[in-house]
Amino acid sequence: MPELPEVEVVRRGLAAGITGRRITAVEVLHPRPVRRHLPGADDFAASLAGRTFAEPRRRGKYLWLPLTDGDAVLAHLGMSGQFRLDPADAPLVPNTRVLFRFADGDPELRFVDQRMFGGLSLSPGGAELPAEVAHIGRDPFDPEFDLAAAVARLRAKRTGIKRALLDQQLVSGIGNIYADEALWAARLHYAWPTQALTRARATAVLTAATEVMRSALGHGGTSFDSLYVNVNGSSGYFDRSLAVYGQEGRPCPRCGTPIRREPFMNRSSFRCPRCQRAPRAQAPRTAAPRTPGARTGSTVG
């Protein structure tokens, strides 16, 4: 799934390509990507004709296309959703699902989605912040992102650091790739308990996540699979700069130790076993001090 830098690349491409343009017609070629619009595909198309796009916006991995009347089209990129800006006479790429035509002619906006986990929906009143996105935390690129408050929220959690980084309500935009890269940069194992992080280390890992995502954005994002492309159909090249993600067996860029891949939340985590050591096992419950007269039987099987 695209993470913050990849979605921001798409947002910027759309900002340059659709802002201020009036829609004349919408054509839904497959109903599945507009399934969240309950009145149906025809209603989706009819209700957008004649409206004008404002500048596309983003929070974390969530993207929406505001309309100048205060509503918005919410875009769920899912696993394989793409936007393309193409001349009307250019052939449709495979899996083109929705077309937007404009009063000023070319280019058309085309929504392409191979696997169709994503889609488009109309968000009434959603131009500023769609209700569907309101529960998502601010991302580190947001001018109103508060690092000290995010550090405090992180340290108040009782979970592992990587799970916390992936929690989009805590800080949004970070997925598996940039979590692994940030943890490597901060020399932290993914299982480090958040409540045991000093303020300085929690700040360091969030700062590392911000820096690695900023660097990825400068490279046009990470093309982790062929489904991710920008609005021109080309992909980013940050994958050449990844230190650990997808680098199993390759030397750690810092110490040369082979990178290890481990199962994590039904996916994988990549880390340097030397730079990112596992936290010491917590003391077993049987080691807790006993009060006189307390039962000596352990509840630990």
Vertex 102: Cα angle to 131 and 22 (nearest 5): 55
Supply the minimum distance, in Å, between the C-beta of residue 175 and Zn ion. Answer: 22
Residues 6+ positions from 158 with CB-CB distance below 8 Å? 193, 194, 195
Active site positions, annotated: 2-3, 61, 267
Residue 35 or 274 having the CB closest to Zn ion: 274
Supply the minimum distance, in Å, between the C-beta of residue 186 and Zn ion. Answer: 12
Supply the minimum distance, in Å, between the C-beta of residue 191 and Zn ion. Answer: 17
Closest alpha carbon to 247 in 237, 232, 260: 260
Residue 74 or 275 having the CB closest to Zn ion: 275
Residue 46 or 255 having the CB closest to Zn ion: 255
Cα separations (Å) of 11 from 4, 92, 128, 249, 296? 10, 21, 15, 35, 62
Supply the minimum distance, in Å, between the C-beta of residue 204 and Zn ion. Answer: 16
Supply the minimum distance, in Å, between the C-beta of residue 250 and Zn ion. Answer: 11
Query: If DSSP states are collapsed to H, E and C, what string results for 125-136?
Result: CCCCCCHHHCCC
**Bridging pattern class, strands 23-28 and 267-271:** unpaired
Residue 67 or 272 having the CB closest to Zn ion: 272
Residue 35 or 254 having the CB closest to Zn ion: 254
Q: Left (φ > 0), alpha (ψ -120 to 50) or beta: where does 128 sit?
A: alpha
Residue 151 or 242 having the CB closest to Zn ion: 242
Binding site for Zn ion (CB under 5 A): 252, 254-255, 257, 272, 274-275
Supply the minimum distance, in Å, between the C-beta of residue 270 and Zn ion. Answer: 12
Question: Which one-letter amino acid corresponds to residue 22?
Answer: R
